[in-house]
Amino acid sequence: MILATFATLTGAAAAADSPAAQPPAALKECAAIAADATRLACYDRLSGRSPALPGSGGAPVPAAPAAPGPLPAAASPPATAPVTAATAAAPPPQSFGLYAAEHPPPPPVADSVQSRVVALGPDAGGRMTVTLEGGQLWELNEADPLLAVGDTVSIARGAFGSFVLQTPTHRSHRARRLR
């Protein structure tokens, strides 16, 4: 089995060095073109890909210089190419590989929020919960006997994804949002 695999691999390597594996003359002519857009149009014509349609979001491709020989029937480009949402929404080729361009940052989030307490009570585990205007429900790590309904509290982001609730009497509590 190993010997057969080795023979197959060495045969493939020898075939790659053969004259039949060398690129045809039309590819060499495309590779010799200095202008990027013209060279790309030449490759597109050889591969059968139609040039970008005007108004499709891509830049029109200039016509490639005529090749010395005719293209095979299988390589001739189709008469029209449909423009799909995927081609219209594709990022420009200049941003290919640039992480920041391909993955825009998320919208900014608030560092803190202030709201009025509308209800207090214990949860199923006996910890103090605080319900704020708008329906946010927060659980405190420890009870605060001075916190009352109607007080305005501030909740800020803490370290490592935690949150800190600060009362009007400047007492701070670790908090976890339940809903």
pLDDT at 99 over 60: yes
Provide the mean pLDDT of the chain.
76
CA distance 93 to 174: 47
How many CB atoms within 10 Å of residue 155? 21
- With 0-12 / 13-18 / 19 or more C-beta atoms within 10 angstroms meaning exposed / middle / buried, residue 124 is exposed
Dihedral sign for Cα atoms in the order 55, 61, 66, 70: negative
Average pLDDT of span 87-108:
77
Average confidence (pLDDT) over 34-39: 89
Amino acid identity for residue 125 in this structure: G
- Residue 34 has a CB neighbour count (10 Å cut-off) of 6
Query: CA 109, 115, 120: angle at the middle one, nearest 5?
Result: 125
Kindly indicate the confidence band of residue 7, based on its pLDDT and cuts at 50, 70 and 90: low
> pLDDT (tens digit, 9 = 90+) per residue, 53-96?
544 444 554 554 544 444 444 444 444 455 554 444 566 788 78
For residues 93-112, average pLDDT: 84
Sequence length of the chain is: 179
What domains are there in the chain, each with its CATH number?
Answer: 24-102 (no CATH), 112-177 (2.40.50)
Question: What pLDDT does residue 71 have?
Answer: 46
Give 137-172 pLDDT, tens digit per residue: 999 999 999 999 999 999 999 999 899 999 999 999
Percent of the chain with pLDDT over 70: 64
